[in-house]
Structure formats: C-alpha cells, structure tokens
Amino acid sequence: MQDEEMVTQLPRMLYGEDERVTLLRQILKAMGQPDHAFSIIHVCGTNGKGSTSAMIAAILQASGYSVGLFTSPHIMAVEESIQINRQLISKAQFERLLATVQTVLKKLGFDPTTDLSYFETLVLVALVYFKQQQVDYVLWECGLGGELDATNAVDRVAYTLFTKISLDHMALLGDTIEAIATTKSKIIRPQTPVIVAPEQTKTTLHVLQAEAGRQSAPLQIASRDWLVTSHPTSAGQAVTIKLPERAPLTVSLALAGTYQLENLLTALTWYQQFCRDQGQVVDEAVLQRALGQVRLPGRFERLATEPLVVIDGAHNPDGIQQFVRSVQERYSDYDLTIVTGFLKDKAVAECLQLLTQLPANFILTTPINPDDRQLPVAELGALYTQITGQTAPEYPAIEAALKAANQSVRGPKPQVILVVGSFYLLKTVRQHFLS
C-alpha cells in the first residue's frame, strides 16, 4: 500500500476530542521521548507559518546545522511535510517508519487505524525520523490551534514563534481573535524565548504578552527597523535590511509576495536572538546564502511564463488581503484572470469580497477534497453574483477552468493567470503544469 493511501485511511481529525495531547505525550514517553534528541523551534499562527519556518530552516542550514522541517498541509504528497535540509523524506523511509510507529502503538494497546488521526500519526513519524537522522534543530509547525494541537505534545522547545494570528478555523478555535489567540498562546513554555510577528492586533498582543508573563517567558515583537527597502524581481524580491552597527545589506529573497516581508522580519528577529544565545553575531554570508535558496510551493509561486501563471494558497480573509496587496504591487500593469475555488468551511463570502477588489476576469471552480468539504461551484457562483451583481464562468472541473483562463480574451497588456484559494485547488493545478 502506498504511503499516501496508508495515512489518508486514518481518521482525518480528532482535534479537541478527549485528552489528545495528553495521550500523545504518554505515547512519546513510551517511545523513549524522540523529541529530546534535538532542539525544537515551535511555530504557531494563522498565516505565514510555513514561510517563516522555511526561512529559519534555511538560515540554520546555511549556518552548518542539520535541520528538520515539519509543516502542513502538504500540496502534492505527504512527504512534503517531513524534510531534512530541504530534502523530503523518501516514500520508502516514510512507509518503513509508519509501519514502525503503528507496531509500537499496537504494543501499547492502541488500534493505529482508529485511535490516532492522520495528523497525530504524522507527528510521531516525523519525530522518530528526525531522531534517527540525528538532526540538530527542528522547525515544528503547528497544524491547528495551539494548546490542543498534536505538535504541542513535545516535552520541551528552545524557541516559540508566532506568525500573524487572524480568524480561521473558527468552528474549532473560537469566533473571536481573543479566543483564537488564547488557544494559540498556550504553546508558550516556561522561560522559553518568544518571538512575535509584526502587525498583530492589540488583542492578540495582549493575550500573548499575558501568557508569556505567566510563563516568565521573554517576549520580543519583530521590528520593522530591519527593513529598509524592497522591490519585486523575477526570482522573488530584493530586500535591503539594516544590520546592527553595519551598513545595510541587500539580499535576494526567493519568495515573492509582499506578505513575505512580515515573515522575513520575524525570521530575522529570531536569528538575532539565536546569535545572542550562541555568543555569535549576525552573519551576512549566512543570510545571503539562506534567503536566496528558500522555496515553498503554493506561496505566490510562478508555474509558467507563457502565459504567466501564479498560484497562491490564500484561503482566509487575512491571507486573501495579503494576496491582493501582492497582486497590486507586482501586476498593476497586467490583465488579470483569477481562477478560484474554496472549501465550504472557510469564510468564502469575505474572501470573495476582498478578491473582487481586483480588476480581474474571474473563473470559478471546485477544489477536489477527499472529505467532501469542497464548496460546489454553483454555490460559489451565487456568492459571486450576490457580491458583484455580475456572473462569472463556472467550471466544476479544474482543468476546464484553466483551459478557459488560457483562452480568455487578450488585450494589449501582458496577461497573468492567478490561481488562488484552497490548497486542494493548487494541488490539481500544480499537477497539471508540472506533468
């Protein structure tokens, strides 16, 4: 059985049921605490977790460390979630470790096919893999929430990072920023340094600072003082940053999107703290090597040039707002065609309200979701009409939507096809182009 099939047959989600984190802690203890074999940097938030984690992992690797990276969700294959030094775990390694973990679970009296969820199983496989491969550091991205997230089962962490916190997964995490920030804040550990991304709401900052105070954990807010200038390039963006007591440094950041600057500020603030803790200084050569090599699929990613096709996994209001700003900055002189589709448990109306601020031709479609959570294109079309008073072409099949986008009327301006929305939409689009 293929690894993708093996894990997708597990329960999709057991979040919040019973004492899931306590259960995982007991399992990790019985497995000999594989999470004690390396230093963990725990990254939590709503948007920007994957990008910030990838930047920090690249900085550590450029500094000579062996670095594990655990992120979610994956786009193309489950192996994307577990990497070491930017190399994905192999299918053979994944299958072998999955079988090992399931054997241990059986010995402990669990049914591995029903007692643990898909994500909880991934967490265990990742920790065992990172221990076996003797990594030095692991970037450990929360999957959902914080306090009740499976990643919070690890026994200790070296740093805690918070990227931008906004409204998402409200059915599980709460319907206010305060509620969502509160559950995320509970990953803060006693006396463990906390780094917080800029541009947080006052409510979010109050919640994080209060929890850090209760845990006697020093907290820093990432400063915009790092940033001097930035401008788009064909390879991403050129960013000039201000280093302590040194001349400004211009680095090539291989991630497009204006929203990546907030993630960069968070990563740089962490790096400065890390250097202090190690008795070192910020290394310009490390930053040059690391930031020019960061790659992350589905984040303002260019897939083709004729026509220009860019995909982005923004699927909540804050992410869509950042996407709109990036489009306005990079493609103000282009004819825009937007292909979009969402899952039905997202704030789709608000996302569409923001997206339709762009002067674009819209083409609507339906993501392919194994849990039947996709929003049917007819319902998306009805929302689009309600918001704009107009209609947009509807294609249940994603390939048909792409074909229609490619054949859309071209004027004298250059054209860009923008695919934005669910990661399940992006998976099909990437398969279409990369095959």
Q: Tens digit of pLDDT for each residue in 113-155?
A: 889 998 999 999 999 999 999 999 999 999 887 899 999 999 9
SS3 327: helix
Q: How many CB atoms lie within 10 A of CB 77?
A: 14
Q: Which residue has the tokens 């292909």?
A: 339
- Please give the average per-residue pLDDT across 409-418, as a whole number: 86
- Please give the average per-residue pLDDT across 234-244, as a whole number: 91
- Please give the average per-residue pLDDT across 261-290, as a whole number: 96
pLDDT tens readout for residues 314-367? 999 989 999 999 999 999 999 999 999 999 988 999 999 999 999 999 999 999
Q: How many CB atoms lie within 10 A of CB 232?
A: 15
Taking each helix axis as running N to C, give the angle between helix 20-30 and helix 91-107, from 0 to 180 degrees, rounded to the nearest 10. Answer: 100
Q: Does domain 301-434 have CATH number 3.90.190.20?
A: yes
Q: Label residue 411 by pLDDT band (50, 70, 90).
A: confident
Q: Which pLDDT does position 10 carry in this prediction? A: 47
CA distance 208 to 380: 36
Tell me 376's DSSP state. Answer: P
CA distance 266 to 98: 34
Residue 33 has pLDDT above 80, yes or no: yes
SS3 236: strand
From start to end of 129-255, where are the E strands? 137-141, 159-162, 194-196, 219-221, 227-233, 236-241, 249-253
pLDDT tens readout for residues 44-54? 998 899 999 99
Domain coordinates in residue numbering, the chain: 1-292, 301-434
Q: Comparing C-alpha atoms, which of 44, 323, 345, 46 is closest to residue 166?
A: 46
Residue predicted with more confidence, 307 or 167: 307
Q: How many CB atoms lie within 10 A of CB 125?
A: 27
Beta pairing class for 301-305 and 308-312: antiparallel
- Count of alpha carbons within 13 angstroms of residue 33, beta-carbon side: 10
CA distance 188 to 25: 17
The pair of three-digit structure tokens given for residue 255, joined into one six-digit string: 């991630």
CA distance 205 to 200: 6
CATH superfamily of 1-292: Mur-like, catalytic domain (3.40.1190.10)
Q: How many CB atoms lie within 10 A of CB 328?
A: 13
SS3 431: helix
Q: Label residue 306 by pLDDT band (50, 70, 90).
A: confident
Average pLDDT, the chain: 92
Q: How many CB atoms lie within 10 A of CB 241?
A: 22
CA distance 406 to 418: 11
- Count of alpha carbons within 13 angstroms of residue 128, beta-carbon side: 23
Strand order in the sheet with 308-312: 301-305, 308-312, 415-421, 335-341, 360-365, 394-395
Q: Which pLDDT does position 388 carry in this prediction? A: 97
Residue 15 has pLDDT above 70, yes or no: no
Determine contact, residues 384/352, Cβ cutoff 8 Å.
yes
Taking each helix axis as running N to C, give the angle between helix 20-30 and helix 118-132, from 0 to 180 degrees, rounded to the nearest 10. Answer: 30
Taking each helix axis as running N to C, give the angle between helix 423-434 and helix 398-406, from 0 to 180 degrees, rounded to the nearest 10. Answer: 60
